[in-house]
Structure formats: C-alpha cells, structure tokens
Structure 1
Amino acid sequence: MKTKTQALMVQGTTSDAGKSVLVAGLCRVLARRGCKVAPFKPQNMALNSAVTADGGEIGRAQAVQALACGIEASVHMNPVLLKPNSDTGAQVILQGRALSNMEAQSYHDYKKVAMEAVLDSFGKLQRQYEYVVIEGAGSPAEVNLRENDIANMGFAEAADVPVIIIADIDRGGVFAHLYGTLALLSESEQARVKGFVINRFRGDIALLQSGLDWLEEKTGKPVLGVLPYLHGFDLEAEDAITANQVKSEQTKLKVVVPVFTRISNHTDFDALRLNPDIDLRYVGKGEKLQHADLIILPGSKSTRADMEYLRSQGWDKDIQRHIRLGGKVFGICGGYQMLGHWIHDPDGVEGKAGSSKGLGLLDMETTLTLQKQLTNVKGTLHLNNESARVSGYEIHVGVSEFAKDAQSTSLITLDNGSTDGLVSPCGQILGTYLHGVFDEFETASLICRWAGAEELQAYDHVATKELAINRIADAIEEHMNWDSLWDDSLKVK
C-alpha cells in the first residue's frame, strides 16, 4: 500500500522573494536522500518557458526544479501557464497546451474551471511521487486577487497542504513583509502556515536574533531558517532579466540584446552572460544598439508589436549601421522572424490581424499560425566551414517560407532530416527558431568565433546550473530546521 504523499507549499511575501530557488533546493535535498520528489506550481505567469518530454509547455522554473529532482519535466508540474501578450491579456496554457488568449477579467472568471485542471495535475503527481514541493505565485496577501485564487492559498486550502512563507531580507522590511502577509490571511489560512524562512541574509546572525524573537512572539509561528546570501549564485530566473556578469579583465566579445516589451526566453543568453570572456549587455528603452560585435534579437511573445517597438526605438537604424560597419546579427525565434521581409498574422494569433514589415535582412517571410510548435530537438550547426552539435527547443507560432531564388543557406541540420535557420549570403546575419542554442559550449564557441571572438574560456552551462542547485541545497541542510517541515507521521529519510 502506497504511503500518503507528503506535500509542502512555498509562498512568498513578494515576487522574486526566493520561492523558485527554495523549491529547487528542497527538491534536491529530498532527491539526495533517495526520495521520489516532484515540483509543482499551480499557476505561473512568465514568458520564460520550456518544452517537456511529453510535448507540452511549462514555466522554465519548473523545468529547473525537475532537474533538481533528477526527473524529466512534465506538463503536470505547471498545469496553468499565463504568457502575457499585452498589459491586460495573456495566452492561457492549460496542461501544456495553448487554450486561448484571455483578458484579465475573463481569466479571473475562468479560474474556477482552471482549478479542476490544477487539482487533476496535482493528483497525478501525488500518485506518482512520495513528495511534492509546491511553489506559489507572487504573494498570498494580494487581497484583490483572493477570489477564485488557484495560485496560493486558494490552492493550499483546496488541496489541504501546509505552507511556509519566504521573504527576502536583502530588499529590506522583512519583518513587516512577513508579519503583514500573515495578518492579511484568513484564520484557516493562517493555521496552515508552518513557519517562515528568511532569505539572502548577510552578516552576523546574532544581530538578527532580537527580530526573530519578536516575529515569533507576535505571530506564534517559528522561523524555520535563515538562508545566507550566496555570492555569485546564479540560477535561471523565472521571468526577471538577470544582468549579473563575471568578466575577465579584457573581454573577447561584446554582445548587446535589445529588451522587447514581450521578450521571451531571455534565459537563452545565460550561457553567454556567465562566460567571463563575453561582455553581454541588455539594452532598454531609450538606449542605442552600439559598441558591439554581435547584436542578438531575442524571442518575443508578440512579434509584430515588438517589431514596431524596435522601430520606435530607432533600433532598426542601429542594426543597419552595425551591419555596414561589419558587425554580426543573430535572431532567435521571434527575433528570427523579424529578420525577414514580412510577418503576417491573418488570424490575429498575436493581436489584431494584419501584416508587419520586417527588417528585410533574411530572404524569407513568416505567417503566424494557430498551431504552436513545441518540440525538443538535436542537430548539427554549420558555420564558416565548421560544424558543432546543437540541442535546443522550439516554442513558436508561425511558418517561415524562403524565397525560391534565395541565396541563403540553412544554419542547422536537425537529426530528423529537416533543417532550421538561415545564414545570409553576406555571412553577417544568422537566424534560428531554436532556443537554448548557446547552452552547448562547442556551439556557443563556434557562433562567437563567427562573431569575431578569439577562443573563449570553456564554460559548462549545465554544470553551472547543477552547482547552483547544490549550493542552495547545502544552505538548506545547514540553516533550516528540516524536520519541522514535515509531518511527524512521515519523516524524511
């Protein structure tokens, strides 16, 4: 007879309080101890997503957490994914599949239906694993979003799971965050809170003790752990763009990435950003695309709208000037589509139906389609008479067609025999639909040589992620009251 699954939910006082990282660390500790564990996030709002082994789409944070568990990611680990395509609307991904675009009020009413899918996916994980570690979204104290909540306490109450609340002391106001969050919960919600975790603490813990004592006395809840600030810690961000770098004294390649209004999967650039030989800079509104060897156009959830945004910033002129001076340009997914002559959206997939003129740098045009391409792929990248193995994933709507008399050549030969991407006749412009194309160092190094870099320091992106997961797991084991997290009836091995 299967023992009852243990579940624990991590909620935060704010976005980016450390929920994703704490869940990844808890999962790794359990996996180290020989437990069958899976991550779960009922509802996620993010433009960084991943393709699962079962051909669906989930938030990247849950894919990283699955890595921490030592298992393949599944659509049931993040049954509701919201991908914003405007200030008031988002594409709704339900159990891995795009459902429709909804405005905020429509989705608010739809959450009653979405809860059924959330509980179905959670039940599937409970039947398969001994432990499920759950991540909340934003804060449970957002009183305007409490009705029909499926992301935080609404789920915790429906699934009857205990909760711990994490706050980031590095932001300041940690005691107000924790005390206020608890105070804004209902009595039944307060009762299921097992305690608090304080994240990213620097300095002498003795100087914090009086505050910890005050918090425990005022709330009646224990502080389960104070996690230290981990210098140099870097793990894929759920949605916020991370610009931290560790640069050598003289970098070998300067890269700029324009930040679109709906930039997606900016984790594509982590492997470049974290290589000491590369100076990667994100360029925002009002800035110029300049002083670079390579300009990379990232993915976008709203390609036509971001194409117009690119022009409004004058970045099209910056790109043309960059090319005239011999610079290189690389487009990924939506950025690849922008490099063509036209982007057509006859069915209004990403907004108002119509067509937008592209940059005209690759001899192709793209038609957005109702069906989304979701697949993990492997292949060989060909560039400058060299080749390198590449792995990545496709998440896009649209089919790109090439002009019959085009002189461009394919960039990648996939293992299934098809091709992906283009190399311009002038050799200065590349494009691909593959996200994660820089994750393999051999491939990243080849592309960087094409862009003008000398040999780069070897950088293992996968090993770096593993190191980060192990660092947070080590910190949890050292600084948290582990046994207090779990029911007495089923202690962790």
Structure 2
Amino acid sequence: MVQGTTSDAGKSVLVTALGRILARKGIAVAPFKSQNMALNSAVTKEGGEIGRAQAAQAEACGLEASILMNPILLKPNSELGAQVIVNGQAIGNMKASEYHQLKPKLLTKVVAAHDELARQFEVVLVEGAGSPAEINLRQHDIANMGFAEAIDCPVIIVCDIDRGGVFAHLYGTWALLSKSEQSRIQGFVINRFRGDASLLDSGIEWLQQKTGVPVLAVIPYIESLHIEAEDSLSQNQKLQTEAEKKQLKVAVVQYPRASNHTDFDVLRMHPQIDCTFYKSPQECQQADLIILPGSKNVRGDLDWLKQQGWAEKIQQHLRYGGKLIGVCGGYQMLGQWIHDPNAIEAEAGSSKALALLDIETTLTEQKQLKNVSGVSLLSQSCDVTGYEIHAGVTTGPALKQPLFQLGEGFEAEGVIDPAGQILGSYLHGLFDSPEFFQQLVAWAGLEQIQSFDYRAYRLKEIDRLADVVEQALPYSVLMQLLGFTQSLE
C-alpha cells in the first residue's frame, strides 16, 4: 500500500508507475483505492463509476477499469456534503458527519472488493487517501492505516520534497501512528527531488535512526510530466510552448464544482493550442473557443457563473463570432431551464439557464453511466467514443439537430445550434477521438492542424514515468517489498 504524508504527495503517480513497471515484466497487477474523493471520474466495464485516477492506473496496468478498483467514490457537491458512490452506483448525498458514521459498514464492502481483486491478480497496488496522520479522521478509517490493518498489508510512505519540510513530514507522520501501524511501514519514498541527491544523505541517516525505517528511493522531479490528475487541476497549464505562440485560444470556465477537467487534457497538450482555465471572465481577454465543463452542482455553478459575469462574457464572445461548447453539466447550462424537483444535487427547485439552446433539463435520481461509441455529424462522418455520467434528462426542439449518432440504433445525442456556433453534448472524453478532434478544432478556427494522438502520448508519458521510478526504485527491491522471495524475471 502506498500512503502519503499529504494530499498530492505522489501516491497516485507512484501507483501508476509501479503498475506499469510490473505489467511490463509480465506480472498480473491491478490498482485499488478503497475511498476516493474526486470530481474526475470514469465509467467502468460494468457500467459503474470510479475515480479517474484509478482508471488511469488501470490503463498503466493494461486493464479495463473496474468498480472493484475504487469501491467508494465521494463527489463533493457542497462545502459540507458529497454524493456517495458505492460499488459504482450512487446511494445518495450525505454530509460529512453522516458519512463518517457509515464507514464501519462500508469497511466490509471495500475489503470484499480488494479480496476479489487479490483472487484475480498476482499483485494489488493499494493507494491511500490524504494522510494517515489526520488524527481527526482516524476513528473508522477505511482509507489508510485502518484499511491496511484490515487486510494486513505492508505500507510505504511517499512525501513531496518540492513542498519543503520533507523530513518533518515523514517523521511527523510516523510519530503520529500507533506502534502496530508504524511496524507496517516498510520504507519511505522522497518524491520530486531536484538537484544532487547526495545532499539528502545526512537527513536520510537521521530519519532512519529516529524511525528505523529506510528511505527506499529518491525520485527526481520529472519536467512537464503528464499523468491524468485525480482531482485538482495541474498548476502548469501551458506545458508545450509559450502560450502567445499558439494558434488557437481555448478558455475553460473553472466554476467551483467543475468536474472531469481531464476531458480537456488533449487540448492542453496539443502544441498549437493554448487551453487555459479561468475563474474570472475579466482574466479571459481573448478566446476562439469557450468551454463550459461538467459540474457536480449544476444549478449552483450556474448561479456562480452568472454572478461572476460569465453570461455577459459569453454573449459578447458569440457576437464577435467565437465558438462555444457545453459538456455534460455545461451542456445543461446552455438550455432554457434546469429543474431539480427531487433535490438530486442541492435544494429542490428550478433555475433559468443561459437560454442559448432550445432545450431544458430535469435532474433525475437515475444516473446515466455508460461507455458509448458512434459517429459525428459536425462536418463529415467520423468515429467518436466517450462516456456518459449524468443525472439529467434533456428535451427540446434543438435536439432535432444532433451532434452525434450513437450505438447500433443511431441514437441522437447532443446539439449543433442552427448558426453553427454552439455545440452541446453529454459525452465526456469526446476530444480523445483523433479524427473528431481534428474536426472540432478546425470548426473552432485552427488551420493546418498538426496530427496528435493523445492516447499514444498518454501511454508514452506513463512509460517515461515508469522508467524514472524503476531507476530510483530497482525492480529487485520492489519484488522484496511485494513479498516475492526471488525475482520473477
């Protein structure tokens, strides 16, 4: 099990790397995270919903994503509460205190999911959540040491030295654990180090004397590494070339409960595109394309969008000939009304939307969770794949001009507005289809488009990460940690 001293210490990335290393050696390996809090999610082969990070880890292991890999997903929809998803399906919205009381019952479910994976694979790589030293959350813990003790699992602790205070983080985490929990720690990993690693020698020696725990690896900082984020948006928004040299300007509205921002990673990675996330419309001086992403609280984020002045900004953008796309919750915002009669996301009621498309949406208890494929109707027919995660049913005359036809029944999906300026769709991941991506950015105004295979790029980045980690943490050491008495090479 990989645990961390803090959130974003490198747990997800390290599990991704270790999964890739083992899979390349021919070992059957799977990722697992008992409890994940994230607004980035994916649809599994069973038609369930899990955290996006576990789907990326599954890809690194050469697997399809499964609900077994993340049996509990929490999707925050307010400051105090979240939608709780168990074994891929939503069971309702809960405040933190309510969920905390439910944890003992959920422990049996997460252990059962882990055990089922362990029966299918030689190795299961477990990722913790946050930090095991969060003493206010220790009671009923099912995400860190509580889970490790439930399945009798050895642990390594990773820390991000780029934040500073690495030895305080590692020693403090160890010191706040019980004796039995301390005995589970097989080693520390220092992540994102820049410079001469020998400068750490005295600190590492001190740490081992104090704790009896060795530092297994010092992983160097990897410049411009792209691994799909679990939840928080990467601070490095312009990763390829200087933004002013790029030919297409894309603005993604970053409202408080924006979800699945990984939909736009391909835009951020493309060498000709400057894709930037904006909270304030005043910061967005120029754009060829504005995107409204998904949302876990659509009416709340719609209110925020209006309060910030985005409605006026979007109207101005369209008057000047700019293009607009709404994805999932953003698609719902483009319509006339959003109704939530059963308080699915927040308080019951209706909200006047942006009135840019002749549709309206009613949120329902039954969430749509499915992987889909079909063809685009944007310019010329081409294949497209994606996945749907939404609770809304959308109706209206605008649906007569769909953006896609999906499945064997050629089911209409999405909208192209009559002027050809606005697109709306429930499909996440639609930018990842190479041929449709070319059509889409051409529609948005990019000329002489460079070919870019995002999936191949993503896999190449996973291999780059695995190469660096394997050099820092030799395969023989990894085998010993996993309990193999001899190398499987």
TM-score (norm 2): 0.96
Match in the other structure for 1:4: none
SS at match of 2:357: coil
Structure 2: how far apart are the matches of 1:117 and 1:492?
Answer: 32
Match in the other structure for 1:466: 459
Aligned counterpart for 1:291 among listed residues 277, 281, 286: 286
Matched residues, number: 482
Give the partner amino acid of 1:271.
V
Structure 1: how far apart are the matches of 2:250 and 2:111?
Answer: 44
Match in the other structure for 1:381: 376
SS at match of 2:233: coil
Offset, 1:486: 2.3
Match in the other structure for 2:191: 199
SS at match of 2:467: helix
Match in the other structure for 1:485: 481
Structure 1: how far apart are the matches of 2:220 and 2:487?
Answer: 25
Offset, 1:285: 4.3
Structure 2: how far apart are the matches of 1:210 and 1:190?
Answer: 22
Aligned counterpart for 2:395 among listed residues 394, 397, 401: 401
Offset, 1:210: 1.5
Q: Do 2:48 and 2:369's aligned partners in 1 also have CA atoms closer than 8 Å?
A: yes
Structure 1: how far apart are the matches of 2:146 and 2:413?
Answer: 44
Q: Do 1:263 and 1:299's aligned partners in 2 also have CA atoms closer than 8 Å?
A: yes
Offset, 1:396: 0.3
Offset, 1:40: 0.3
Structure 2: how far apart are the matches of 1:14 and 1:321?
Answer: 42
Match in the other structure for 2:328: 333
Structure 2: how far apart are the matches of 1:489 and 1:275?
Answer: 45
458-467 or 418-427, larger mean C-alpha shift: 458-467
Structure 1: how far apart are the matches of 2:269 and 2:464?
Answer: 17
408-417 or 23-32, larger mean C-alpha shift: 408-417
Structure 1: how far apart are the matches of 2:282 and 2:43?
Answer: 33
Q: Do 1:302 and 1:350's aligned partners in 2 also have CA atoms closer than 8 Å?
A: yes
Aligned counterpart for 1:261 among listed residues 252, 256, 259: 256
Q: Do 2:44 and 2:65's aligned partners in 1 also have CA atoms closer than 8 Å?
A: yes
Structure 2: how far apart are the matches of 1:287 and 1:274?
Answer: 25
Match in the other structure for 1:347: 342
Q: Do 1:297 and 1:332's aligned partners in 2 also have CA atoms closer than 8 Å?
A: yes
Q: 1:147/1:407 Cα in 2 relative to 1: closer, same or farther (>3 Å)?
A: closer
Alignment of 1:93-172 (within 5 A): 93-172=85-164
27-36 or 99-108, larger mean C-alpha shift: 27-36
Offset, 1:245: 2.2
Match in the other structure for 2:367: 372
Structure 1: how far apart are the matches of 2:282 and 2:71?
Answer: 38
Cα RMSD (Å): 1.3
Offset, 1:288: 4.4
Q: Do 2:238 and 2:274's aligned partners in 1 also have CA atoms closer than 8 Å?
A: no
Structure 2: how far apart are the matches of 1:413 and 1:322?
Answer: 29
Q: Do 1:48 and 1:239's aligned partners in 2 also have CA atoms closer than 8 Å?
A: yes
Give the partner amino acid of 1:356.
S
1:32 is the counterpart of 2:24: yes
Alignment of 1:237-252 (within 5 A): 237-242=229-234, 243-247=237-241, 250-252=245-247
Structure 1: how far apart are the matches of 2:155 and 2:451?
Answer: 42
Match in the other structure for 2:2: 10
Structure 2: how far apart are the matches of 1:488 and 1:449?
Answer: 53
Identity %: 57
439-448 or 352-361, larger mean C-alpha shift: 439-448
Map Cα deviations across residues 312-350 of structure 1 (whole Å, 9 max, x no partner). Answer: 101000000100111110000000000000001111101
SS at match of 2:432: coil
Structure 1: how far apart are the matches of 2:200 and 2:317?
Answer: 52
Offset, 1:367: 0.5
Structure 1: how far apart are the matches of 2:114 and 2:202?
Answer: 39
SS at match of 2:366: strand
Q: 1:237/1:244 Cα in 2 relative to 1: closer, same or farther (>3 Å)?
A: farther
Structure 1: how far apart are the matches of 2:23 and 2:436?
Answer: 31
Aligned counterpart for 1:220 among listed residues 212, 234, 237: 212
SS at match of 1:393: strand
SS at match of 1:329: strand
SS at match of 1:368: strand
Map Cα deviations across residues 197-217 of structure 1 (whole Å, 9 max, x no partner). Answer: 001111111212111111111
Offset, 1:387: 2.8
SS at match of 1:260: coil
Structure 1: how far apart are the matches of 2:374 and 2:92?
Answer: 32
Q: Do 1:252 and 1:456's aligned partners in 2 also have CA atoms closer than 8 Å?
A: no
Q: Do 1:289 and 1:319's aligned partners in 2 also have CA atoms closer than 8 Å?
A: no
> Structure 1: 5+ residue runs without aligned partners?
1-8
Q: Do 1:408 and 1:423's aligned partners in 2 also have CA atoms closer than 8 Å?
A: no
Give the partner amino acid of 1:471.
R
SS at match of 2:274: strand
Structure 1: how far apart are the matches of 2:71 and 2:280?
Answer: 34
Offset, 1:440: 1.9
Q: Do 2:479 and 2:486's aligned partners in 1 also have CA atoms closer than 8 Å?
A: no
Match in the other structure for 1:443: 436
Structure 2: how far apart are the matches of 1:69 and 1:335?
Answer: 32
TM-score (norm 1): 0.96
Q: Do 2:281 and 2:313's aligned partners in 1 also have CA atoms closer than 8 Å?
A: no
Q: Do 1:296 and 1:329's aligned partners in 2 also have CA atoms closer than 8 Å?
A: yes
Offset, 1:487: 1.9
285-294 or 139-148, larger mean C-alpha shift: 285-294
Match in the other structure for 2:385: 391
Q: 1:407/1:60 Cα in 2 relative to 1: closer, same or farther (>3 Å)?
A: closer
Structure 2: how far apart are the matches of 1:107 and 1:450?
Answer: 45
Offset, 1:139: 0.4
Q: 1:408/1:329 Cα in 2 relative to 1: closer, same or farther (>3 Å)?
A: farther
SS at match of 1:459: coil
SS at match of 2:377: strand
SS at match of 2:402: strand
1:475 is the counterpart of 2:468: yes
Q: 1:181/1:284 Cα in 2 relative to 1: closer, same or farther (>3 Å)?
A: same
Match in the other structure for 2:49: 57
SS at match of 2:431: coil
Aligned counterpart for 2:67 among listed residues 67, 75, 79: 75
Q: Do 2:386 and 2:429's aligned partners in 1 also have CA atoms closer than 8 Å?
A: yes
Give the partner amino acid of 1:323.
L
Give the partner amino acid of 2:327.
I
